[in-house]
Amino acid sequence: DEQMLENCRYNLLWRKALGLFSLDDECPSQASYYLFRGKVCEYEMTSDNHVNLFEECFKRLTAAQVKTYKVSGRVVRMDSKLISSNIAWYSRYEIIHETLVKSATDEDVERIKDQMIRQHLIEFLGEDAEKTVYRTDSETMGKRLADLGIVIHNLLQTCSETEKMLLRRVFGEQYEVDKDGNVTLRDKARISSTSVQNPNDPDAAYRSKGGKKVKGYSTNITETCDEEGKPSLITDVQVKPANAADNGFVEKALETTK
């Protein structure tokens, strides 16, 4: 965002694209970009077909360029790049703990009837998870993780199925409940790379590629490359969680290009 705002102020090409032909013309304020972006995201979430207005605008511009430059698009190439999310690298305990802290309210505490469970919940909510991880040995941490799971399980029992969906998701990813209602920590090897990496960005996934570990996303770009002397046009841009396989982008990319 900082690079974008700086270019809008000082890069003549960027200013021309915005219609700012005089050095005296003021570019939109930082708040204008954020509010506009927020409204576009809100529209996508609330519209009937979840329409992405950026994507629709991009498609129309590309279609016009295809006609103007008479680009056939018979041959395309694709490339993927991992993008890290701007989130802290949390330990397993921090992921579960921070999700609980973000989800629980004072009313939730009052709804728990078991006095011991309620006291544990109050202690967890007042705790600094990072400091706990730093000073706790592995055996004690295993006990704390087990207690944390029991507390969350009891808390979720007081809510409807449609409440605290993120906390339910994290609990389901990290714990198992047997038919007698006993809560146990799920084996680490059985936790999917699509599991929540940080409650502040629940869509981000984990991936290790070429020795690079990323918690975030994979973006795939498709462009034409078949005709010498004509511009290569970007025809498709896709963003998925980081653990998405590269071949999963192909079908949509070709359909969009067509």
> What average pLDDT score do residues 199-219 get?
91
Residue at token pair 């918690």: 215
DSSP 118-163: HHHHHHHHT--HHHHHHH--HHHHHHHHHHHHHHHHHHHHTS-TTS
Give the pLDDT score at 27.
Answer: 87
Containing 95, the helix (H) or strand (E) segment is helix 92-103
Residues 6+ apart with CB under 8 A from 218: 80, 81, 82, 83, 207, 239, 240, 241, 242, 243, 244, 246
Our CA angle for 213, 137, 98, nearest 5°, is: 55
pLDDT in tens, 171-199: 999 999 999 989 999 999 999 999 999 99
Is residue 109 within 8 A of residue 119, CB to CB? The reply is: no
Give the pLDDT score at 222.
Answer: 96
Share of the chain above pLDDT 70, in %: 100
Give the pLDDT score at 53.
Answer: 95
* Average pLDDT in the chain: 93
Q: Dihedral (C-alpha) 104, 108, 114, 120: value to the nearest 10 degrees?
A: 30
pLDDT in tens, 102-148: 999 999 999 999 999 999 999 999 999 999 999 999 999 999 999 99
pTM of the model: 0.77
Is residue 254 within 8 A of residue 104, CB to CB? The reply is: no
Give the pLDDT score at 209.
Answer: 79
Long-range pairs, 49-57, Cβ under 8 A, ≥24: 55/237
> What average pLDDT score do residues 45-73 get?
92
Token pair in block for residue 113: 């009837």
Which amino acid, 257? T
